[in-house]
Amino acid sequence: MKESKRDAFKRLAQQRTIAVLERLRILGNCANTQLYEYTDEEVNKMFSAIRAELRATETKFKNSKRPEFEL
């Protein structure tokens, strides 16, 4: 039996969200100043890029249901 679009979304979205969250936790390990050295500028640049990508991805979901054209 073929998987429905809804079921495919739920399966993939859950897997991918878990993967993103895990990678963020791993990124957080870089905050350990006993092992790593970084500047505020580097941290700001890193989180700015993450926020920008998050906004772009969220926008895709919000704009995915475009209204039909009509005159």
**Neighbour tally for 20: CB within 10 Å:** 13
pLDDT in tens, 10-50: 999 999 999 999 999 999 999 999 999 999 999 999 999 99
Tokens for 31, please give them: 């905050």
Where along the chain do its domains lie? 5-62
Closest to 41 (Cα-Cα) out of 52, 49, 33: 49
pLDDT in tens, 42-66: 999 999 999 999 999 999 998 877 6
